[in-house]
Amino acid sequence: IKSQRSNVREYLYKFLVVGDLGTGKTSIIKRYVHNIFSMHYKSTIGVDFALKVIQWSPEIVVRLQLWDIAGQERFGNMTRVYYKEALGAFVVYDVTRPQTFEGVRKWKADLDSKISLPEAWGGGNIPVVLLANKSDLIGEGHGQHANPTEMDTFCKENGFIKWFETSAKDNTNIDEAARHLVTTILGIE
C-alpha cells in the first residue's frame, strides 16, 4: 500500500512473527519497537500487534505492522486469518532448544500453504527470514552457534531468504533482520 504526500512516499507493510512457544517472538518485537526487554515470560494469547515507523530515506517512510502470533496457534485454526495480506514473515526458533528448530519447517509450510504475495506482484511465497534467537545464551552451557554453511543450505532448501542469529536481550541483529526483509519487499514492489 502506498500513499503520496508531497514527495514523501509512504508504505504500509504487514509482517508476521511466528515460531514455537517461548522462542522470543514477543521479546524481539518489544526490543525492536520499544527498545525494552524483560526476562519475565508471559505467553501471548492469540495475536498481538505493534507498529514500527521507519524513516527509510528522506523520501520513503515505511510503516511496519507487526503481527505477533502466539506459538500455541500452530495447533489452532486461526493462522489463515492472521496471515491475510501479510507481505513478509520471520520464523523464530530458540538456539537453546533444538526441538524449536523442528517447528521451523512446520511454520514455514503453514505460511507457504496459506499466504502468497499479491497477484499484481506475480504471486509466489512471501519472503521469510529465519531467526536463531537467544544467541546471548550460546556458550553458557546450552546452545551453540549455527553452522553458517548448514544454515545457508537449510535456507536455500526451505525457501528462507536469509537467516540471522539474534538476541532480544542484547539487541543483536534485530534491526538488520528487519532491514533485510523491508529491502526485499521494496525491491519486489
Please tell me whether residue 143 binds ligand GTP under the rule CB under 6 A: no
Tally of CB atoms within 10 A around 131: 29
Minimum Å gap between C-beta 40 and ligand GTP is 6
- Of Mg ion, ligand GTP, none, which one does residue 39 interact with (CB within 5 to 8 Å by kind)? ligand GTP
The residue (of 43 and 55) whose beta carbon lies closer to ligand GTP is 43
The residue (of 136 and 152) whose beta carbon lies closer to ligand GTP is 136
Please tell me whether residue 136 binds ligand GTP under the rule CB under 6 A: yes
SS3 98: coil
- Of ligand GTP, Mg ion, none, which one does residue 137 interact with (CB within 5 to 8 Å by kind)? ligand GTP
Beta-bridge partner residues of 91? 18, 130
CA atoms within 13 A on the CB side of 150: 3
Among 23, 26, 135, 167, contact with Mg ion (rule: CB under 5 A): 26
Lookup: cell for 126: 512471501
Minimum Å gap between C-beta 168 and ligand GTP is 4
Residue 135 DSSP label? G
Please tell me whether residue 44 binds Mg ion under the rule CB under 5 A: yes
Minimum Å gap between C-beta 102 and Mg ion is 19
Q: Which residue has the cell 512473527?
A: 17
The C-alpha atoms of residue 131 and residue 125 are separated, in whole angstroms, by 18
- Report the site for ligand GTP in 73-132 (rule: CB under 6 A): none
Q: Which residues contact 100 (CB under 8 A, 6 or more apart)?
A: 19, 20, 22, 23, 93, 94
Minimum Å gap between C-beta 62 and ligand GTP is 23
Element (H, E) at 115: none
Please tell me whether residue 27 binds ligand GTP under the rule CB under 6 A: yes
Q: Report, in this order, helix, strand and coil percent for the chain, each rounded to 5.
A: 35, 30, 35
Contacts with ligand GTP, residue ranges (CB under 6 A): 19, 21-27, 38-39, 41, 43-44, 70-71, 133-134, 136-137, 167-169
Contacts with Mg ion, residue ranges (CB under 5 A): 25-26, 44
